[in-house]
Structure 1
Amino acid sequence: MRVAYIGLLFCLLAVFFQDWKYRRIHVGLPLAIFLFSFYVIQHENKILFKIIVYNLGFFLLTLSILILYMSLKTKKFLNPFQNYFGLGDLLFYVAIAPLFLLQNYILFFIFSMIFAIGLQLGLKKIIRENTVPLAGFSALLLFILIIKDMMLDFQKITLL
């Protein structure tokens, strides 16, 4: 079990460093995060499947509203992966679905966006690119939260 925790944390750091440096992540990292997450969560498969479905439902609803809004604004269908949202970001948020109950997934989603914007603005002089490494910054926040949840017993955010 410890190996799975270490693997999950290592994958989160790898996402952070790859997204920070290259603005893309290897497709195997979200897959590994999902598999490690699925392994370390100690719930019955039926309950875990329900958690994943609810979290993915929220994420897909949010993504659909974003696509609809951007398409209505430009008066043509707009592919969000070309200008606004990376495929790595999508895969990352899908991969972390097993780690949270729905309300905590929603909170993490919102706070990870705020965290990413805050880091982007705070590191404006260091970051030369205009794009935000959303998956990377979100992975860094999740890394911090998992470490916190492992060390402290009160108010856990993740299911770990």
Structure 2
Amino acid sequence: MILSLNIAIIGLLFWVFYQDLKEREVMLLLFLGLLVLGGFLHSQFQILELFLIHISINVTVVGCILLILFLYTKWIMKKQLFEAFGLGDLLFFLILAVSFPVPTFLVVFSSSLVFAYIVYMAVRPSLKEQTIPLAGFQALFVLLIMVSNLIFNFTDLYRI
């Protein structure tokens, strides 16, 4: 069952990557599927109280990042938040927050942002739009992590 969940999540992550890169918008159903499957997979490795504590901490971290981003876009960029940051990106942040325990979330989240920046800088000349498909690049990163972890079993992503 765990392997089936991982394969389903990997498929959805690929679809998010593909849609975000090609169309610059992702179907809400994909995000909801990832949220449910990622949260369910995470919950299978934690007792309920610890699972809820991890989600609370992760969502608080995302909230702090969004507050900083909101203030930056308002005062420095002189734009509204969602002119500079997509709703899909926010939803993907929340998917990561629900899908992993705190230590894994912090590493995967921060590494995926660095990965997204590096990939964007590498492919920027070939992109039609000059916006970053952040959710897509983060989905690609998580997909690569999950596939490599399934093949090589580097670490247990869900146990602390």
Give me the TM-score of the superposition, normalised by structure 2.
0.88
Checking the alignment, whether the CA contact within 8 Å between 2:12 and 2:34 is kept in structure 1 is: yes
Q: CA deviation at 1:68?
A: 1.4
Structure 2 gap segments, 5+ residues each: none
Q: Which has the higher helix share?
A: 2
Whichever residue aligns with residue 56 of structure 2, its letter is V
Map of 1:147 onto structure 2 = 147
Structure 1 gap segments, 5+ residues each: none
Map of 2:75 onto structure 1 = 72
Checking the alignment, whether the CA contact within 8 Å between 2:89 and 2:134 is kept in structure 1 is: yes
Whole-angstrom distance in 2 between the partners of 1:145 and 1:90: 20
Identical pairs, percent: 29
Checking the alignment, whether the CA contact within 8 Å between 1:33 and 1:96 is kept in structure 2 is: no
Q: Secondary structure at the match of 2:76?
A: helix
Checking the alignment, whether the CA contact within 8 Å between 2:14 and 2:143 is kept in structure 1 is: yes
Q: CA deviation at 1:69?
A: 2.5
Q: CA deviation at 1:116?
A: 1.2
Q: CA deviation at 1:93?
A: 1.1
Number of residues of Structure 1 aligned to a counterpart in Structure 2: 156
Map of 1:86 onto structure 2 = 86
Return the match for 1:50 from 53, 63, 67: 53
1:35 aligns with 2:40: no
Whichever residue aligns with residue 13 of structure 1, its letter is F
Deviations 1:48-91 (A, max 9, x none): 111111111000111101111232325x6x42112x11000101
Whole-angstrom distance in 1 between the partners of 2:31 and 2:56: 17
Checking the alignment, whether the CA contact within 8 Å between 1:13 and 1:139 is kept in structure 2 is: yes
